[in-house]
């Protein structure tokens, strides 16, 4: 059993549960776009290589750019909608310690994850106006957050986690 003092509580103050800011959200989105594009490019190269193995060298396949574009958009939809529906965070969001939650703090639902993903391009198409509430709104909710009834919050606090790790390590060293 661990006894905590008011000083312990003060040292554990964190951003967990607070609305995520524009810089963190932008960095997570940039990381996600990079990861999604690299995965798509690798998958495309793999498919082309497999087709090359099966088809004779005399036969050439002309890729249709429209089909490739549609497949890429579908891939991006799956890349964002599935994680937002299931866990509330994509890979980029997990790395930067943010999560999508319902406006009341409850976990996201598949419905809100899909709506958020469908409205995200509209937020871009408003020439950035859909992102202004992230900068100026109290809840920092973009257009796609408002449409889906979600908010983005900080999910972890590295400072408090490090302090807990160091406290555990010091306790083990004393008992040894």
- Of 61-65, 146-150, 153-157, 170-174, the range with the lowest mean pLDDT is 170-174
In sign, the C-alpha dihedral spanning 46, 50, 53, 57 is negative
Number of domains in the chain: 1
pLDDT at 2 over 50: no
Residue 19 near residue 139, CB atoms below 8 Å = yes
Whether residue 8 is contained in a domain is answered as no
Kind of pairing, strands 150-154 and 98-102? antiparallel
Distance in angstroms (rounded) separating the CA atoms of residues 110 and 79: 13
- Comparing 12 with 157, the larger pLDDT belongs to 157
Domain that holds residue 38: 19-170
| Element holding 122 (H helix, E strand) | helix 110-125
Q: How far is CA 134 from CA 20, 128, 150, in A?
A: 9, 11, 13
Decide if 125 is inside a domain: yes
- Would 6 be classed as within a structural domain? no
Q: Confirm whether 70 is domain-assigned.
A: yes
- Are the CB atoms for 109 and 88 separated by under 8 Å? no
Which is more confidently placed, 135 or 161?
Answer: 135
Is 72 part of a structural domain of the chain?
A: yes
26 lies in a domain? yes
Structure tokens at 101: 């939650």
pLDDT tens column, 93-132? 999 999 999 999 899 999 999 999 999 999 999 998 999 9
Tokens linked to 111: 């419905």
Q: Does any domain span residue 3?
A: no
Q: How confident is the model at residue 39 (pLDDT cuts 50, 70, 90)?
A: very high
157 within domain boundaries: yes
């Amino acid at each position: 059993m661990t006894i905590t003092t008011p000083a312990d509580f003060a040292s554990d103050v964190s951003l967990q549960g607070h609305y995520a800011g524009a810089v963190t959200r932008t960095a997570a989105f940039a990381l996600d776009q990079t990861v999604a594009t690299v995965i798509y490019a690798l998958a495309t190269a793999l498919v082309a290589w497999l087709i090359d193995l099966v088809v004779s060298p005399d036969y050439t396949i002309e890729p249709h750019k429209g089909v490739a574009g549609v497949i890429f958009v579908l891939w991006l939809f799956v890349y964002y909608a599935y994680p937002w529906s299931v866990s509330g965070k994509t890979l980029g969001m997990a790395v930067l310690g943010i999560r999508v939650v319902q406006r009341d703090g409850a976990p996201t639902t598949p419905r809100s994850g899909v709506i958020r993903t469908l409205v995200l391009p509209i937020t871009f198409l408003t020439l950035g106006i859909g992102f202004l509430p992230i900068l100026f709104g109290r809840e920092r909710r973009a257009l796609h957050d408002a449409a889906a009834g979600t908010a983005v919050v900080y999910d972890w606090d590295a400072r408090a986690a490090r302090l807990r790790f160091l406290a555990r390590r010091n306790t083990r060293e004393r008992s040894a």
